[in-house]
Amino acid sequence: MKEVVLDTETTGLSVKDGHRIVEIGCIELDNLIPTKNKFHCFLNPGRKVSEKALEVHGYTDQFLSDKKKFIDIADDFLSFIKDKKLIIHNAEFDLGHLNNELKIAGKEKIDNENVIDTLYLAREKFPGSTISLDALCKRYRIDNSRREKHSALIDCELLTKVYINLVDQKEPTLNFISNNKNIIQKTLSKSNNYFKKVVQPTPEEIKTHKEFLKNNLKKNFF
């Protein structure tokens, strides 16, 4: 099953205040194994980045001024996530901004049913504990030293590792294991065939055995 780990950075917290997306990062998973397929872009939001958001991710208005607008990358983005579950930490925030951008671009919104929120997975697994991305990295001993500021792609890489741990599959199954199983199965099959082989006694052996029982059984047991 293919999934996409997704993260965004924005100009501020709420779409109600007119805030927009400035970065999208996506990493594709195939049966919990990261593939080489990634989607990443910086976006010109068409408005100023708030001071608080600037402290979080560090993307200045000048840096974003020559980047594409969301409408320019919308089709490529939708094509990348098509028919895949989205893995998002605190999905309400990212999904709210993504659906706002899609609405502005005249595209269909992303259905909530197509999203797995790792915030809820972590809350169920560790009730009462801090469940921020940094806290989960610390819990699972995931190196997040590169995360000096928020970055959609770096956060996706970290969230991928956290997600795999949350679903209790830290080490994805590798092909050589199934190959070994095939080898073992073939070996057992050969062994079973060996033990099923029946050796029939010769007439002379049967006669000797009867004489032995006649001469020794009563003497030894009665």
Q: Which residues are catalytic?
A: 150
49 to 9, 149, 152: CA distances (angstroms): 11, 15, 16
Q: Which residues of 37-59 are buried (b: 16+ CB within 10 A; e: fewer)?
A: ebbebbbbbeeebeeebbeebeb
Helix 91-104 to helix 70-81 angle (10° resolution) is: 120
Total residues found in the chain within this entry: 222
The DSSP secondary-structure symbol of 17 reads G
- Please say whether the beta carbons of 70 and 105 come within 8 A: yes
Distance CA 120, CA 95 (A): 15
Per the structure block, which two tokens stand in for 198? 């029946």
**Sheet of strand 115-117, all strands in order from the earlier edge strand to the far edge:** 33-42, 21-30, 2-10, 85-88, 115-117
Distance CA 56, CA 34 (A): 26
